[in-house]
Amino acid sequence: MKPIRLVAGFLTVGAWTMASRVFGFARDILLAAKLGDGPVAEAFVVAFALPNMFRRFFAEGAFNMAFVPMFSKKLEGGADAEGFARDAFSGLAAILVVFTVAAQVVMPWLVLAMASGFAGDERLDLATVFGRIAFPYILFISLAALLSGVLNATGRFAVAAAAPVVLNLILVAAMLGAGWIGADIGLALAWAVPIAGIAQLALLWVAARRAGFRLAPRLPRLTPELRRLARIAAPAMLAGGVMQVNLIVGRQVASYFDGAIQYLNLADRLYQLPLGVVAIAIGVVLLPDLSRKLAADDTQGGRDAFNRATEFALLLTVPAALALILVAHPIVSVLFGRGAFDAEAVANTASVTAIYGAGLPAFVLQKVLQPLYFARADTVTPFRFAVVAMVVNAVLAIGLAPLIGFTAAAWATTLAGWAMVGLLWWGSRGMGEAARLDPRMRRRAPRIAAAAALMGAALVALEAALGGALYATTLRYAALAALVAAGIAVYFAAAQILGATSLREIRGAVRRGTG
């Protein structure tokens, strides 16, 4: 995959991820407006987090990081890639069926493991009911993630990237429908989750079949290749588990402060917009591309892929991070400040958003650096680094909570993220030329920072000029749109003038991605 084609892949995945995040915002805007930061909202957030936590543990975070390089190499070498994928599909399905049944039995304890502050109040019972309904989502979405890996390894990114849009559309429809007929919104949301999982799995199964891969489930069998897959995936699963411990620690801290779980959830949604658009695009496109190049001993191609991914990450996340830090309050106010979500809730969410913004480049750079290890079938080293980051996160979150309250969870996440980046970068030093920055990347990085600084100054000045318009009932949407549009225009104009990017390259990548 040539560098411009690689960027086109990033743009394809990023565009669909952006669409998913936009509908995700619609979902969370409705959730905040109808349920505020009350017990039903917090109970659903925790219940929905349970299958998503284990999904990242089983599927996207660990299993796929081991599966995609093996599958890509089989495609490259002409081996029986379809048979390997079918065995992996059946084995994963069997494990998840057993796991889902077990989770139904221990659901109250799973909820308390996520949010022990729920003990003794109504949130525990609500989250247990919602959790039992929503948890089967893990089965459907994990199998969908495997199908996404198959499609991505063959260079078919669009359908896999579009599938998450289905989830948010169904959740939005559930809330609107429940409100229209006067039904329980919390229960409607819980039932919508597994329904969305079935819809996503069906969409991806059809796409994989059209691509020539018929992955019908069958009785699982432990082949030598699956044993090797398990050996490679086990450390990655442990690493994924470590990262989930970080999320659990944050929710545990937040569960002892009224409304804090919802504040963290909404702030997470805001920084997940650029994180999802950039990091998911990089993770989806870069790993199979690096795997193919390493299998073909193409060191220069691997270096180009790594550097263009790093450049793409910095180009989009540095300005996004600065914007979240500098203008978090008007962004949160316009998006969520309505109905049951009052001014205090807006201020609390904005403070957390700014903290997460400071960690945004770290979260994305992790997605650039980790494929360097996974493409070499090295899942042990990232696991060791993740353990160190977990300790940093736990010490900071628990230690700072008595001093600064629920914001300790956000600070811990951000600082642990930067610690993980430092470790991954340090560990990549012995990987040779493929893991080194090229002259173009070294030249453009400081220019990206300078363009972002100019954008930041423009945002601060324009926010002051707009003043009350950003908070007026009828004007705030237009005012925020003007603020965002001006920031984007200033940034890309500065980037073009300073040589941080080239509009000709972007246009070429877009044509490749849509051609």
The answer to whether residues 66 and 240 touch, using CB atoms and an 8 Å cutoff, is no
Question: Among positive and negative, which fits the CA dihedral 272, 276, 278, 283?
Answer: positive
pLDDT in tens, 181-199: 888 888 999 999 999 999 9
pLDDT in tens, 404-454: 999 999 999 999 999 999 999 998 887 777 678 888 888 999 999 999 999
The DSSP secondary structure of 441-506, one letter per residue, reads: HHHHHHHHHHHHHHHHHHHHHHHHHHGGGGTSTTTHHHHHHHHHHHHHHHHHHHHHHHTS--HHHH
What is the pTM (predicted TM-score) of this model?
Answer: 0.69
For residue 513, the model assigns a pLDDT of 42
pLDDT in tens, 132-180: 999 999 999 888 888 887 887 777 766 777 778 888 889 999 999 998 8
Enumerate the domain spans of the chain.
Answer: 3-514
SS3 labels along 11-71: HHHHHHHHHHHHHHHHHHHHHHHHHCCCHHHHHHHHHHHHHHHHHHHHHHHHHHHHHHHHH
Q: How many CB atoms lie within 10 A of CB 352?
A: 27
In this prediction, what percent of the chain has a pLDDT beyond 70? 84
For residue 510, the model assigns a pLDDT of 44
Residue 126: is its pLDDT beyond 90?
Answer: yes
